Every structure is written in structure tokens, then in C-alpha cells.
Chains A and B, each alone.
Chain A
Amino acid sequence: MATNVNALLESLRETKVWKSIFRRGPANSNRTRSLAVFGNLFLHWMPVKVREKALHVRVSYYLGSISFLLFLILSVTGILLMFYYHPAAPNAYRDMKDLQFVVSSGVFLRNLHRLAAHLMVFMVFAHMFHVFYRGGYKPPHEFNWVIGVKLLLVTLFLSYTGYLLPWDQLAFWAVTVGTNIISAMPVIGEKIRFLLLGGHIVGENALLRFYVLHVVILPLAACVLMGIHFWRVQKDGGLTLKAKDSDGK
């Protein structure tokens, strides 16, 4: 059975259509396996070869990969949630109730998005601390560490802007408490808070601004920064390995 499936897949990879889509035949030689990476728009920033030791779980715990995968899950669930959401008060709250009682699997969709969001904040922090303890910020990785810090800030802002969107008491007061802190900044604090909220209190304008930041501006910023971040990992010579990683344990 399994061999039949394999044989079928093999013959599929030899077809004209397959080759026209993937620009190569079956990846059965190192040349075609290299092509599979650098001949693919979505993978071409990756190295063709990686050091065997860099694949060990203990080197990275896949924390960076998991953060990125969570971003993918958040994008998909977030787009689905956008179909059911109006960034206006109090419609936003009614949409939450609709997700709960009207939309099929609406609660599940929201649960998944919220869980992934909190997990992503946690994973990005974990990734940063792990990279620090491994010395992953040392030359030539200095600037990629800085981009990582920016990505941490974008992640925090993404999560925080999303926190307001359900427009319930939890959301409203969490954002009120947070944005009140900005007023403590001397001279420009009040102005920055006004710019962020579109007013002096957390109201409809704030909801709209947070929505635009949450679904357009911050995800775009995250995508650009992630692109540079991943590409730089390869350009700077891959993950940082320590001497003790060479024990092969």
C-alpha cells in the first residue's frame, strides 16, 4: 500500500505539470534538493545545507520557528475573525456575542486566536532569553539581535492592540490602564496618547485606530522584520553553536 502511494507520488513528480509548477522533477539528488530550496520563492532565503548539529532540539528548542508558526496561525484565524467583526462600538461587542451564539465554531476560532496570541508573546520572550544564554547576539549576529528586539516590541503591540478589540470591560480597562501610563511621559505624553486614541478617552476612535494597527500596520511591520530576521540568520552563518554542542549529545 505504502509503496503504491510512493510509486504514484514518484510518477506524479515526473509529470510535465508538476515540473511546470515546481520548476524541478523529484528531489532525489542533492542538486534537485538544493533547487527545492533556492528555486522556491518562499524558501529561497534559507540555506541549502544546514549543519547537522544546528538541527538538535537543544540548540534552539525551535523557539523561533514556533514563534513564526504561531504568527501563521494568528494570520489565518485573524483573517477568519475579520469576516465577523465590525470595528465600532458597541457593534464589536455584539460581534463577540455572535461568535459565541451564531457563528459555527465561532468560540473555537476566537479561543484559538487568543491562545496563539498569548503563546506568541511568551515564545518570543523565551526565544530572546534562550538566544542570549547561547550568546547568539555575538558578532556577526549583532544587528539581527536588534531586529529581534524590534520584533519583540511589534509582538507586544500586536497583542496589546488586539486586546481592545472585543470591547468588553476587560479590554476597555486594560487599554485604559496601559495608555494612562503614556501620559506620564513629560511634555509629549498627552499628545502621544491623543494620537494613539484619537481622543482623550478610550472610545470609538481608539477602537478603530487599534483595529487598523492590529490588522494592517503591525502585521506588515512584523512581516518585513521577520523577512530580514530569517534572511540574516542565513547571511550571518546560521545558528550559534557552542563547543559543547559538538559532543553530539
Chain B
Amino acid sequence: MANNKIEIGFSSDAKKDPRRVVFVTKKTSAKVLGERGPEVMTYPHLLLREAIAFEILVIAMVVIALFWDAPLEQLANPLLTPNPAKAPWYFLGLQELLHFFPPFVAGILIPTLVVLALVVIPYFNVNVEGEALWSRYPSRNLRGVLVTTILVLAFLVFFDAWTIITPTAIVASVLICSYTGRQKTTGWQAALASKPLSWWIMTWFIAVSICLTVVGTFFRGPGWSWIWPWRPHVG
């Protein structure tokens, strides 16, 4: 009964049982925090800026809300399907995917993979330094990029998914342009050549998302056919 202390794995008496706090090998150097630079008080410097941002935001939104009415259509009617029936704009990229791929792939597999990819981004410790794609083994990396691009494009051509092919081809050609400009030190080609692979993948993802969303929102009419938004159509 005397000894009803909670037993833990190690002693909490640091003087008696010193524990290793950091372990420095030859390969890893101890991380040194850089100079943090000059600091200012949160109150008022940050809070004042936040307040100004809030005021500008509210004023702008009130002005827009005065003149731009939220749409309201007829009462919901399960018997009267509009053509096309569209989801909110942020899901129209997915709806555009549904046009090319089977529902399981477009509606479940791709969104799940995108969310998983976003979650694991910080845990992939590949290239933490943000090393440029062409800085080491440029010709080997170029070969890898070309093979991947051709495989992806072939896959997309097989599904006839040309609203994905277009942004993919554009990003791929800019990527290859940056290879030819990798020796330059100034200008846009040098800026692009300094980007790591992760930058290119994210840029490709954003380009495809924007293209799909814009096409789904403005350029799709009855039966998900192509329309020009400035031309009146029967619908």
C-alpha cells in the first residue's frame, strides 16, 4: 500500500537520471534557428491591420450585395429535371470529369486521391530544400518528365478528355521551355527553371482544376454539350 505511486517508464528526476536530449551524428547538423528579424507588438500593429482588412471586406461585400441578387428559381420539383442539372461551381470540375470517366473514377476515386495527396504533402520529405528540377541530372530528369507527360497524355486521349489535355499540354510545354532556359540567370525562363518538381505538379493540378471548373460553369449546356456563354441557346 505504501508504494502506490504511478510508475512511469523513466525517472522524472533530471539530476539523477540524465536523459539524452539531442543526438547529433556526422551526417546531420544540429538545426540552428535563424535570425528572426525585428519584431513589433501584435497590439496594435497586427490587430489594426486585421481590423482594416475586415472593414474593407465588409464595405466591398455590402456594396456588391446591394446590387447583385442571389438567384431564386421555382419551387423544387422532383418531376421536372433541368437540363443540364448543375452542382455548385466548386463541384463543376468534378462534374466535368464525370463527362469523361465512369462515376466511380470521377466521383470517388479522383477526389479521394486528391485529398490524400494534399494530406501527405508535408510528410513526403523528398526535396525539402526545394531543389530545382534541372539542378542535378537535368537530362535524366527531362527523360522522366517526357515519358510521364506522354503516358498521361495517352491516357487522357484514350478517354477523349480534351479539357484536361489542353491545360496539361500547356503546363508540359512551359516545363520543357524551362529546360532550355536552365542556363540563364535572369528573366522568366530562369525563374521557371528554379522551380522544384512539387511546384510543377501543383501548378499542373491548379491549371487543370481551373480549366475544368470554368468549362463546367460557363461552357456546358443541355446534355453537357459545348456552348458559348455569349450566344443564346435553347435550353
Q: Which residues of A approach B to under 8 Å, CB–CB?
A: 27, 30, 33-34, 36-37, 43, 46-53, 55, 62, 65-66, 69-70, 73, 89-90, 93, 96-97, 100, 107-108, 110-116, 118-119, 121, 125, 128-129, 132-133, 135, 137-139, 141-143, 145-146, 149, 152-153, 156, 159-160, 163, 166-174, 176-178, 181-186, 189, 201-203, 241, 246
Contact = CB atoms under 8 A, between A and B. Distances in A.
Given A73-B58, A145-B121, A168 B73 contact: yes
B121 A137 contact: yes
Contact of A69 (B53, B69, B95, B206): B53
Interface stretch (B10-18, B36-44, B162-170, B179-187): B36-44
Question: Which of A129, A177, A178 has most chain B Cβ within 10 Å?
Answer: A177
13 contacts: A36-B43, A49-B40, A49-B42, A52-B39, A62-B50, A65-B50, A115-B64, A118-B89, A132-B121, A137-B121, A139-B122, A152-B118, A168-B74
Given A145-B122, A160-B88, A181-B103, A111 B69 contact: yes
Nearest to B118: A149
SS of A interface (majority): helix
Given A46-B42, A119-B61, A168-B73, A184 B85 contact: no
Interface residues of B, number: 64
Contacts of A153: 115
Contacts of A182: 107-108
Contacts of B130: 135
Interface in B40-97: 40-47, 49-50, 53-54, 57-58, 61-62, 64-66, 68-78, 80-82, 85-91, 94-95
A95 to B, nearest CB: 11
Interface of B: 36-47, 49-50, 53-54, 57-58, 61-62, 64-66, 68-78, 80-82, 85-91, 94-95, 98, 102-104, 106-108, 115, 118-119, 121-123, 128, 130, 199, 202, 206
B91 A52 contact: no
B41 A48 contact: yes
B135 to A, nearest CB: 17
